Amino acid sequence: MSLLRVGVLASGRGSNLQAIIDACREGKIPAQVVVVLSDKEGAFALTRAAKEGIPAIHLNPQSFPGKEEYERAVSAVLKDHRVELVCLAGYMRLVGKTILDAFPNRVINIHPALLPAFPGLHGQRQALEYGVRFSGCTVHFVDEGCDTGPIILQAVVPVLDTDTEETLAARILEQEHRLYPEAIKLFAEGRLKIEGRRVLIKN
Ligand code: GAR
């Protein structure tokens, strides 16, 4: 079976990127990361990619007249590398129509909360401040809203009385590193079917 060609967009430290790369390398998922793109010049995600011999590209949004032009450039890089699935991994920008039209139903994201609770920034802090007993993470298809697309997989973790934002984030992150490769595996195996808001998993 040929390997699914994955492009990753990341803005920060790239620990989810690393989990995806490792799972691919270990043969746990029939995929390969073929390009990593960041909107942030010094993103550690780019360093990780370069270290793995994966093309690591910085595109500065400020160098483009607007979001559409920036997204056209991002899409062109992804297309150049014949990307079949775009994974957002700590990509701190709202993906718009240009990228979504270029990759219909082929953009997925991981969010550090049980959506639809606590979308947007600081999902872990929002959960702690709200006082929920459980939080977790969600892998979902991306649509034009903020963390509103159809949900692929979720993992639950307890929120402890002693938790700080950091300890809760660490507990969730451990699950993120397991869940994201699992979702990519399902996609690569052609087992995901979107029906309205629901994602059905075949077999
Ligand atoms: C992760 O916790 C991810 O879920 C979150 O950013 C972190 C990136 O960490 N994403 C969002 O909050 C998106 N709304 P990483 O760079 O180490 O993968």
Nearest to 179 by CA among 53, 14, 23: 23
Strand, helix or coil at 108? Answer: strand
Banded model confidence at residue 6, pLDDT cuts 50, 70, 90: very high
Q: What percent of the chain has pLDDT over 70?
A: 100
pLDDT at 1 over 90: no
Render 158-190 in DSSP notation, one character per residue. E--TT--HHHHHHHHHHHHHHHHHHHHHHHHTT
Question: What is the position in ligand 1's atom list of the atom closest to the CA of 19?
Answer: 18
Which residues lie below 8 Å from residue 120, measured CB to CB, with a gap of 6+? 126, 146, 147
Domain chopping of the chain, boundaries: 4-201
**Active-site annotation holds for 81:** no
Banded model confidence at residue 99, pLDDT cuts 50, 70, 90: very high
Task: List phi, psi (to 5°) of 46.
Answer: -65, -40
Q: Are 88 and 95 in contact (CB under 8 A)?
A: yes
User: pLDDT tens digit string along 167-179?
Assistant: 999 999 999 999 9
Tell me, in angstroms, the distance from the centre of ligand 1 to residue 1's CA. 30
Tell me, in angstroms, the distance from the centre of ligand 1 to residue 90's CA. 4
The residues lining ligand 1, judged by C-beta closer than 6 Å to any ligand atom, are: 10, 12-16, 89-90, 110-112, 123, 173, 176
Q: What is the pLDDT of residue 110?
A: 98
CA atoms within 13 A on the CB side of 51: 10
CATH number for the region 4-201 comes to 3.40.50.170
Average pLDDT over residues 47-59: 98
Tell me, in angstroms, the distance from the centre of ligand 1 to residue 15's CA. 8
Verify cis geometry, omega within 30 degrees of 0, for the bond prior to 119: no
Question: What is the position in ligand 1's atom list of the atom closest to the CA of 120?
Answer: 14
Q: What is the pLDDT of residue 133?
A: 98
Average pLDDT over residues 59-68: 98
Q: What is the pLDDT of residue 117?
A: 98
Render 141-153 in DSSP notation, one character per residue. E--SSSS-SPEEE
Q: What is the pLDDT of residue 113?
A: 98
User: pLDDT tens digit string along 100-118?
Assistant: 999 999 999 999 999 999 9
Q: Name the average pLDDT for the chain.
A: 98
